[in-house]
Chain A
Amino acid sequence: MTELLVGSKKGLFVLRGEPGAPFDVATRAFPGDVVEFGTRDARTGRYFASVTSGFYGPRLMYTDDPTGEWEQAKGPTFPEDIPDKSIDRIWIVQPGEADGVLYAGVAPAALFISTDSGETWELNRALWNVPTRPEWNPGAGGLALHSICPWPGDPQRLAVGISAAGVWLTEDGGETWRTGYPGLVPQYVPEEDREKTHALCVHNMHRAPQRPERLFLQFHGSVYRSDDTGETWNDIAEGLPSGFGFPMVVDPSDPDSAYVIPLTADLDRVTPDGKVRVCETRDAGATWTAHGDGLPSNDAYLTILRQAFGHDGGSPLGLYFGATSGEVFGSADAGASWYSVHGNLAPVTSVRVSG
């Protein structure tokens, strides 16, 4: 049996079923609230949900049983000496490499760390205090730290992606940070200003665990790969129906394999040409194959959000994504063919495989 955590505009859906057939809703938690992100820390079995009430604000919840009671974490919240900021949204929770360590990325763009398996959280002040921060500007979804890429086996190294403030890297556990800008081309900035801008709109970023110096990045208008730990980037979007999009998966067992779900353009955020296609590369971006077998292909204008694409880590890789139309799709054969996991949920914000 496979378990999915599907965040939505109307709660967290826990889906369970056998790959290849529709899943059942095992439970729906936080009805009425937006669940931005749900995940499970495989090391401890603990589940996390980023919940935002339109009335009572954002909070991080955790539990060991998603069908039972949830506890509210202490944080992430900004400390008293940063009185003019409060958390708008918790975009991601990412298990780290050290025991008990998790990271959270929030808007306004900040990184928080927990050393007690997610119960309490502390701001990473070094990234908060980088001198260029006053020049950062939000993307359409806010000034968001939404991608966190640990380095397998090395808790000192981390890469984070910020919309719209680029890639930031640390090799000393977050004590110091430097940018990973070269090669990223912000086509929405006048050409003469691109060299000096910080307005680098990263949409998603993932590391290839089997070759950790390699990262894949979905940008605002193109797709990139770095083979030098995120220092420099190469455009690999040629062959895609569009360079624009948000969701991305990297095959954890094959550093040459990655998946994106392109959208038409920044001003038209739907699947191109009325067809839903998942695009796969098996040669690190040299070529792309569009998969649509089993996906809507006739007048299908779906929107798939940033965190709404996940995988099961298996071989062949199981893939799952959800759309704002409320449909969730799955593939049990690494994207070659697709089936409907569920057709009638609320607008999907995130999809992760939890078991």
Chain B
Amino acid sequence: MLRAPLKDRADGQGQLDLPGDSLGEVLRELERRYPRLEGWVLDEHGTIRRHVNVFVDGERGREDTALSADTRVHVLPSISGGSRS
């Protein structure tokens, strides 16, 4: 599940079905399908950005979090991320 501005960069798709056995694999597949998202959720080294929260079935996920076929993943901005601006 994606919200703006990520949704906009995924051609308006707010809900996507993506393959992958881990959260890192799914997020890399997201970038592969929508290159305009490259660098937005994962940094250049494939690490989830500090001020982006990725929830896996309601729990905070990491790159190595295992996923199953019916797992729901939400990508949300952290409430702390706007502090710099």
Chain A interface (Cβ < 8 Å from any Cβ of B): 9-10, 32-34, 52-57, 59, 72, 74, 77-78, 80, 83, 86-87
Contacts and interface: CB of A to CB of B under 8 A. Distances in A.
Given A33-B85, A59-B39, A54 B51 contact: yes
Contacts of B84: 34, 52, 54
A57 B39 contact: yes
Contact of B40 (A56, A74, A77): A56
Contacts of B83: 54
19 contacts: A34-B84, A34-B85, A52-B84, A53-B40, A54-B81, A54-B85, A55-B49, A55-B52, A55-B81, A55-B82, A56-B52, A57-B40, A57-B49, A72-B36, A77-B43, A78-B45, A83-B45, A86-B43, A86-B45
A34 B51 CA distance: 15
Interface of B: 5-6, 36, 38-41, 43-45, 47, 49, 51-52, 77-78, 81-85
A87 B44 contact: yes
A9 B85 contact: yes
Contacts of B43: 57, 77, 86
A78 B85 CA distance: 24
Nearest to A34: B85
B82 A78 contact: no
A56 B49 contact: yes
The 5 A-B residue pairs whose C-beta atoms are closest, nearest first, are A77-B44, A55-B81, A55-B77, A54-B81, A54-B82
Contact of B44 (A52, A72, A78): A78
B85 A86 contact: no
A10 B47 CA distance: 26
Nearest to B45: A83
Contact of A10 (B41, B77, B85): B85
Nearest to A347: B85
Nearest to A89: B84
Given A57-B39, A57-B40, A72-B38, 8 more contacts: A33-B85, A54-B51, A55-B49, A55-B81, A56-B39, A77-B44, A78-B45, A86-B43
